[in-house]
Amino acid sequence: MAKAVLTTKVDPTYDDLPEHRYHFPRSYLNQVEAARGDWVLYYEPRRSSGHLSSRGGRQAYFATARISAVIPDPTMADHFYALVDSYLDFPRPVPFQEGGHYYEAALQRPDGGTSKGAFGRAVRTVPDREYEAILQAAFATLLPHGMPPPPPRPAWQARGFAADQAEFEDDEPAEIDRPVVERVIARPFRDAAFATSVKAAYGDTCAFTGLKIINGGGRSEVQAAHIRPVAANGPDSLRNGLALCSTFHWMFDRGLVSVDDDHRLLLAKGAVPDAAQRLLTPERVLLVPARAEQTPHPMFLRWHRENVFKG
């Protein structure tokens, strides 16, 4: 097995749904097959869509997941799907380079610039030490020791070798801090990471009411709600999350309120007290984050309406 980086846009060219699947051509099959059963990173490039003039992408690693299976695309020849599980958004998207340090050493030329050829590959394998360093940067506020210094440059770079000479260098496996990966897998850590991401995306504001309540200790009282619960195979994705005050979180989980595809709030008939209804936004429209990749996905909203909502 080997870890990998999967590149996907806000408005993907391929049939990507990062929480569940990654669509790719045969040219990347070997790299994806090598990562089957292992962890991958999702990377968002500068282009937000397939149009050459598009911009707005974060140029950052934004989530991790695990490839569970690789299957052929039944409708498009020479294309495949990587099916994923254990998806988790990063509280902090990690730029591909910070302070001159490239998290993927292969993206940096020996002269210090960016290798456009390496960057042009939508699927790239990464060693464990680089995957771990990106996790440390993404979850710095949730890990006990914060963000460590960047890992050392590969020996071939430090000694001034060209990239095509690297294969002749000794590549002794790095010592991996296994507890970092194990912590990411653990449910308590994932819950904390999900809550941090959702609260930040919504500015600590309830999406149903617009209320932002900060307690005496400076802590937000808003809660992070899964639209499709984890118990029902819902992912720890911003697009599967809502920031809600405790009352409406309780009502949402019990199907007394829901949201349609146009973000209008739905109320189960006779189930929501008048006092609670008066707290809703005046237009009874869901407040959503400004960035498209953080807004609730229609697939998850539809699942809630069809399986939880009592309207």
- Please compute the mean of the pLDDT values over residues 126-151 and round it to a whole number: 79
Q: Is the pLDDT of residue 184 over 90?
A: no
pLDDT band per the 50, 70, 90 thresholds, residue 185:
confident
Q: 0.75 exceeded by the pTM?
A: yes
Contact assessment for residue 94 and residue 139, using Cβ atoms and an 8 Å cutoff: no
What count of other Cβ atoms lies within 10 Å of the Cβ of residue 297?
18
* Domain range annotation of the chain: 3-183, 187-307
At the top level of CATH, the class of 3-183 is alpha beta
Q: Say if residue 282 is exposed, middle or buried (CB neighbours under 10 Å; 0-12, 13-18, 19+).
A: exposed
Residue that wins the pLDDT comparison between 225 and 112: 225
Residues 6+ apart with CB under 8 A from 246: 221, 223
pLDDT band per the 50, 70, 90 thresholds, residue 26:
very high
pLDDT value at residue 168: 34
Cα separation of 142 and 7, whole Å? Answer: 25
| Residue type at 163 in one-letter notation | A
Contact assessment for residue 227 and residue 214, using Cβ atoms and an 8 Å cutoff: no
Q: Of 255, 249, 259, 304, give the one whose Cα is nearest residue 285.
A: 259
Q: How far is CA 246 from CA 41, 87, 120, 133, 295, in A?
A: 33, 25, 45, 35, 20
Maximum mean pLDDT: which of 44-53, 73-82, 152-161:
73-82
Residue that wins the pLDDT comparison between 14 and 54: 14
- Please compute the mean of the pLDDT values over residues 8-28 and round it to a whole number: 94
Tens digit of each residue's pLDDT (9 = 90 or more) over 56-82: 789 999 999 999 999 999 999 999 999
Q: Is the pLDDT of residue 172 over 70?
A: no
What count of other Cβ atoms lies within 10 Å of the Cβ of residue 76?
12
pLDDT value at residue 52: 65
Tens digit of each residue's pLDDT (9 = 90 or more) over 254-309: 999 999 999 999 999 999 999 999 999 999 999 999 888 899 999 999 999 999 99
Paired tokens of 109: 């030329």
DSSP the chain: --EEEEE--SS-SS--BTTTEEEEEGGGHHHHHHTTTSEEEEEE-S-SSSSTT------EEEEEEEEEEEEE-SSSTTEEEEEEEEEEEEEEEEESEETTEESSGGGB-TTSSB-HHHHT-SEEEE-HHHHHHHHHHHTTTTSTT-PPPPPPPPHHHHTT--GGGGGGS--PPPPP-HHHHHHHHSHHHHHHHHHHHHHHHTTT--TTT----B-TTS-B--EEEESS-GGGT--B-GGGEEEE-HHHHHHHHTTSEEE-TT-BEEE-TTTS-HHHHTTS-TT-B----SSGGGSPPHHHHHHHHHHT---
Cα separation of 212 and 223, whole Å? Answer: 11
